[in-house]
Amino acid sequence: MANSLVEYGYLATDIMVKGIVKTIMNESPFLARLPFREIAGNALLYNLESTEAGTGWYAVGDTWVESTTVWAQRSTALAILGGDADVDAFAKQTRSNEQDVKAAVIELKAKAVADEFEKRAIQGYTTTLYTTKQMKGLMHLLAECESATTTDWDGAVYSVGGGNNSQIISADGTSQALSIDMMDFLRDLVKPKPDCFIMSRRMRNKLQSLARATGNNLSYIADPRQAGHLVTMWGEQEVIISDFIPDNIQDCLSSVVTIRNTNPATTRASGYDNSVIFALRWGENDGVSGVTNGWIQTEDIGKLETKDAERTRIKFYCGMANFGKVSLAGLIGVLDTALA
């Protein structure tokens, strides 16, 4: 079984790395739950189970028909994420009686690494800010459920069915407010069932409002990974909030969204007021997983020549992959309340 970042923190022997992992866990619930598969080399070519093998019923003497799983090949390349943390020698020497300056600086850098990882784990290889230096994110992996070269979301209205990508449903041909029926439909696209939903705060608030209107509410349980933390639940599934899921995605065009045209800087307005809700199942062999070579690493660069400071480098060779087509699904063209 692959280690999650939480488990890796338990295994790490470097005190600084332990502290960085703890900071990242607290900063990003998404990262705290994401399993990681360690690989050799700088990329992974893997098989996506696109069609399940068939079976049949036979009478004595019938000719048996062979049917095997259909595989589709996908790839993910490791990206380099990191940053340098410089600690001013004067501050370290004169403020050491108040706090550990180096620890504080590295903690802030670790938070920045967590935020950037989660942002690209959602948006990587998509939007107008797309760059090949980044890893693939859920938005791109969802498109890849259709084909390795697909860069749009092409689903169908949830109550109708159809579309090119069976793992994508649209709230409407253009956009529509979230409903409980939509959440149920989204849940059932992940087999046998999803571990979680990932959504923005705006969509969480809408879901909570819908639940209250039916006389229920979202429930909360103790987080088994982090003592003192609570986990939000919708039925059997955990609800994970990500501040990096956009709420200003353009309206669908006949249930299709070209995600490379999504501009995160666009002011949320009518026609640009949609979001996406992901349903997924974690798994390093048949679900959604991170990939890494070497995990999170730190390097003591030492004293700098050009300024009175010492530098610590934090780096992470990382990527994302979806090993099972029915492990990831998305509800697109969805919002809380349409803007006039």
Give residue-wise pLDDT tens across range 272-310.
999 999 999 998 888 999 998 888 888 888 898 888 888
pLDDT at residue 90 in the model: 85
Give residue-wise pLDDT tens across range 154-165.
988 887 665 677
Average pLDDT over residues 120-147: 90
214 in Cβ contact with 179 (< 8 Å): no
Give residue-wise pLDDT tens across range 36-77.
888 888 888 887 776 667 788 888 988 888 877 777 778 888
Give the pLDDT band (50/70/90) at residue 12. Answer: low
| Dihedral sign from CA coordinates of 198, 199, 201, 205 | negative
Average pLDDT over residues 248-267: 91
Average pLDDT over residues 233-241: 90
Fold of 150-285+325-335: capsid protein of prophage fold (3.30.1930)
pTM: 0.85
Per-position DSSP letters for 13-57, written without gaps between them:
--HHHHHHHHHHHHH-HHHHH-EEEE-SSSEEEEEEEEEPPP---
